[in-house]
Amino acid sequence: MTRERLYIYDTTLRDGQQTQGVQFSTHEKVQIAQALDALGVDYIEGGWPGANPTDSAFFEAAPRMRAKLTAFGMTKRAGRSAANDEVLAAVLNAGTGTVCLVGKAHDFHVTDALGITLEENVENIRASIAHVVAQGREALFDAEHFFDGYRDNPDYALATCRAAIEAGARWVVLCDTNGGALPADVGRIVAEVIAAGIPGDRLGIHCHNDTENAVACSLAAIDAGVRQVQGTLNGLGERCGNANLTSLIPTLLLKEPYASRLETGVTLDALAGITRISRMLDDILNRVPMKQAAYVGASAFAHKAGLHASAILKNPSTYEHVPPERVGNERIIPMSNQAGQSNLRRRLADAGLEVERGDPALGRILERVKAREDAGYAYDSAQASFELLAREELGLMPDFFDVERYRVISERRRNARGNVVVESEAVVTVQLRDGTKRTGYFKNDHPQEAQDDGPVNALWQALKTDLGPYQAAIDDIRLTDYKVRITNGGTEAVTRVIIDFEDGQGRAWSTVGVSPNIVDASFEALNDAIRWKLVRDAAQAVAGTALGL
């Protein structure tokens, strides 16, 4: 069977930039465009030249791409010719081979928002599209508010689309601008549009997520016959966002009926990069990636329920609708008090600890994890602390050093010049395996310029000041995130601290500490981080000779 071609149109750089709080730099736009091009989308809408300075700059800086770079704008205004509309001229001046113009398809918006006649609006669409085509460009017409308009006045909504097609538009894009259409409406209306004579291979769909149905509305339109689908990476966009291409593309490539019937410009090889692209965008936006995101989220293939986890170990297809590697993601079987022994063995194997089925240490580890989770610990998010606990029960945890004492002081006072200063200092004493003691001291004495003048940082600096033979191994550890929550430990409120770390080898790990005292909880997590680094370095050194294991 020949597969029909479905075109993917990305508007991350235009509609995605309408997200509250999002403003891409030109450099970031270039980076995103290159990633989209490598992924294999067909069109990249770069922005509205003339309306937004960074959009204009992007079109000047845009790299050569396989994808069709597209400039966005609006149809000419009434009372002037297309050639004399300077807003439209600015769009054409970006020099892109493809131009997308938005215009009204809902009679109420024409008369109420634009304040022109229905005929003038149709003429604006016709003349604008004809002008773009006359310049040798590929033209798209974005039929704004199409679905609301079609419900109120189907003949008029269709007339705007026909005007664009007759003027030479390659595509008419049916836009659910307010995001209120539901999938069943979209499917029915698209079918009626096609029945009314506009073929599906000239129709696109542009949905918003205001009812959490943008992906489903897009699929319903494809089911009904449209052959262009618009969306954004990670579902960025005005209000609740646009249709999420990061969800749509894997569905179109991996799932039926789409995989057998439709062909896109995205290869299966490129699809395996989509998780990385999604995370890159979050990085650019300085956002925490959404763990529960379909396909690309860190939790998308995490199996927490005990029943699920044990079945997954037998056969991943029991609880996975697609294999995670197809989208460049990973399976996770987190530790939690719902997990069983098979889950545990798998988790230990991931940490390089092969334990025989039936080893009594497994039961002890599970019991200790359960008791600690009841006390407020959370090992799902702190694999390194879990590994240390398991190593202790398995007799595989060297006793690198003991903490004798620590003391941390935070103070707010007025200095000699009468200014308020906030300072922290800490002292930590440890006893090494050879019985010698080492004391580290740290004082934050540049409070004015300090980025982190708190007690936890002071403790961390003091702890890693002098650990004798281990010093070289820990110098490159860096704190990357610090999370605190008040939780229940038994019946009392306790503080749980989770800290993320990285080292010079690019390893990342997380530890957990729990105490009624936030400083003590933090110290526990800091201490675990150093112990984990030391034991992992020891495991790397063959037979552990480097650290005397």
Q: Does 439 bind a copy of itself (CB under 8 A)?
A: no
Residue of 117, 235, 121, 225 whose CA lies nearest to 179: 235
Residue 33 touching a copy of itself (CB under 8 A): no
251 contributes a contact to a copy of itself by CB under 8 A: yes
- Answer yes or no: are the C-beta atoms of 37 and 71 closer than 8 Å: no
By CB under 8 A, tell whether 399 contacts a copy of itself: no
Single residue of 38, 272, 294, 549 touching a copy of itself by CB under 8 A: 294
Please select the residue that binds a copy of itself; options are 179, 200, 440, 513, rule is CB under 8 A: 179
- Using the minimum distance from each CB to a copy of itself, give the nearer residue, 40 or 179: 179
Report whether 128 contacts 103 (CB < 8 A): yes
Contact with a copy of itself (CB under 8 A) among 374, 445, 475, 476 = 374
Which of 518, 539, 547, 549 is close enough to bind a copy of itself by CB under 8 A? 518
User: For residues 20 and 545, which CB has a smaller minimum distance to a copy of itself in the complex?
Assistant: 20
Please report where in the chains the tokens 């798209």 appear, as a residue: 140
3-state secondary structure of 325: helix
Closer CB to a copy of itself, 116 or 518, in the complex: 518
**Among 21-29, 79-87, 122-130, 162-170, the segment contacting a copy of itself (CB under 8 A):** 21-29
Name the segment binding a copy of itself (CB under 8 A); options: 15-23, 260-268, 430-438, 464-472.
Answer: 15-23
Tokens read off for 149: 């308009």
3-state secondary structure of 531: helix
Residues 118-177 that bind a copy of itself (CB under 8 A): 177
Q: Which residue has 């299966």 as its token pair?
A: 268
User: By CB under 8 A, is residue 262 in contact with a copy of itself?
Assistant: no
Does 196 participate in binding a copy of itself (rule CB under 8 A)?
no
State how far the Cα of 422 lies from the Cα of 412, in Å rounded to an integer: 4
Cβ proximity to a copy of itself: between 165 and 523 the closer is: 523
> Using CB under 8 A, which of the segments 31-39, 305-313, 344-352, 359-367 binds a copy of itself?
305-313
Q: Name the segment binding a copy of itself (CB under 8 A); options: 118-126, 352-360, 373-381, 393-401.
A: 373-381
DSSP 478-521: EEEEEEEEEEEETTEEEEEEEEEEE-TT--EEEEEEEESSHHHH
For 47: left if phi > 0, alpha if psi spans -120 to 50, otherwise beta; the answer is left
Please give the structure tokens belonging to residue 58: 């992007």
Considering only the stretches 33-41, 122-130, 353-361, 492-500, report the one whose residues sit in contact with a copy of itself under the rule CB under 8 A. Answer: 492-500
Cis peptide before 257 (omega within 30 of 0): yes
Provide, rounded to whole angstroms, the least separation between the CB of residue 88 and a copy of itself: 15
* Member of 6, 8, 99, 216 binding a copy of itself (CB under 8 A): 216
- Assess contact for 467 and 461: CB atoms under 8 A: no
Assess 195 for contact with a copy of itself (CB under 8 A).
no
User: Among residues 3, 5, 25, 152, which is the contact residue for a copy of itself, using CB under 8 A?
Assistant: 25
Q: Residue for token digits 């590994």?
A: 387
Nearer to a copy of itself, 142 or 393 (CB): 142
* Coil/strand/helix, residue 73: strand
Q: Per CB under 8 A, which of residues 332..351 are in contact with a copy of itself?
A: 332, 334, 336-338
361 binds a copy of itself (CB under 8 A): no
Q: How far apart are CA 390 and CA 344, in angstroms?
A: 10
Distance CA 125, CA 106 (A): 13
83 binds a copy of itself (CB under 8 A): no
User: Under a CB-based contact definition with an 8 Å cutoff, are residues 344 and 378 in contact?
Assistant: no
Contact status: 194 vs a copy of itself (CB under 8 A):
no
User: Which of 194, 290, 394, 474 is in the footprint of a copy of itself by CB under 8 A?
Assistant: 290
- The reply to whether 502 sits near a copy of itself by the rule CB under 8 A is no
Opening angle at CA 181, ends 180 and 182, nearest 5:
115
**Closer Cβ to a copy of itself, 291 or 433, answer by number:** 291
Percent helix / strand / coil, the chain, rounded to 5: 45, 20, 35
Nearer to a copy of itself, 153 or 338 (CB): 338
Please name the helix (run of DSSP H) or strand (run of DSSP E) that holds residue 71, with its range, or none: strand 68-74
| Separation of alpha carbons 263 and 470, rounded Å | 56
